Amino acid sequence: MTAFALTAEQQAFAAEVRRLAEEQLRPLAESGVEGAVNRPLLKAMGALGLLARLFPGVASGTPSRQAAATDLCILRENLAMVNTEAETALALQGLGTYPVLQSGQDEQVAKWLPAVAAGDAVAAFALTEPDAGSDAAALSLSAEPDGDGWRLTGSKMWISNAPEADFYTVFARTTPDAGSRGVSAFVVPADRPGLGGEHLDLVSPHPIGTVTFDAVEVRREELLGEENRGFAVAMRTLDLFRPSVGAFAVGMAQAALDATVDHTGAREAFGGPLIKQQAVAHALAEMATRTEAARLLVYAAAGAYDAGEQNLGGRAAMAKLFATEAAQFVVDSAVQLHGARALRRGHLLEHLYREVRAPRIYEGASEIQRTIIARWLASSASGRATTG
């Protein structure tokens, strides 16, 4: 694969994902309750092997600790083109589970990975707190030593799949006043005494809520990675998932673009199809160009990740930043070209309009991505100066 095109095999996989989403996943998604975890949908995705594609080797019983970033992007883009509920359900399984896969002990990998891949266990990534969002190093959920483990006390907020998840990857402070160097990561089963939470009602329709911890016990074997190195665990997962957030955005943009080309081609106004009006045609051209540019950035970043290139934080941030901002533009433009019909409840664009806003915030807001990119550039410049 080059940075600019999918192979024939990958293109066939993408088409198969869209077919499965249309024929088998969309009906299950539409029968679910908005804002709640859709377990029948997850179970179907497990049975179809889609969840297993998130975790190379899990189907054979020997899951690899290496991610497949391009597969993740193909899945997310093509599911999003057909059904955003299915896309989000899959993505949240990956986001909540990858810290376990990448940094967990073998016992935890064996316990949770097969269940997640089968659609039997629901995962959640619990990083954000009421007073620690973009500044994740400022989190205050405390992990107090207790025998050979810890007790977690505090709360998390804006956690996808909460409070319905079966386990949480939780980031807590094990060393006070140490910033990012005092954070540890844990895998916490949802049935642990003292763990609670509630749903939150957002414009975006996916499940999200709070998680509360009242002296919740976590054991030594539930530590992910090293003590006080949990921030690195979180960043390792986020560096993988940022390009795929961009893929989700590209899928939404493509769906909006396709719908708008169809609508403006069929809609008669001023003596001919709307698409023949120069203002409309130029708007469509801009929408298509931004969508394709976003796609190229996303797959270039994913391909670099899969090739084992180092220091990819800036490229991942560029992919997420550009793609999510482009998708916002494309969906908004699509609504404008459709007119009032696009704002009716149940219209594809009404749904996309609600969905497209959140990715510019979660997993690092656009402003944070710009900061990451700027630091990456400064680091690159410093490295050139040192070697020069």
As annotated, the active-site residues are: 363
Count other C-beta atoms under 10 Å from residue 76's C-beta. 29
How many C-alpha atoms does 75 have within 13 Å on its Cβ side?
Answer: 26
Q: How far apart are the first and last CA of the chain?
A: 32
Token couple for 248: 């989700």
Token couple for 206: 């996916």
The H or E element spanning position 145 is strand 142-146
Phi/psi at 233 (5° precision): -60, -45
Distance of alpha carbon 193 from the chain centroid? 29
174 SS3 class: coil
CA gap 92, 76 in Å, rounded: 11
Spatial contact of 78 and 84, defined as CB atoms under 8 Å apart = no
Beta strands 123-126; 268-269: pairing state: unpaired
CA gap 66, 200 in Å, rounded: 34
312 SS3 class: coil
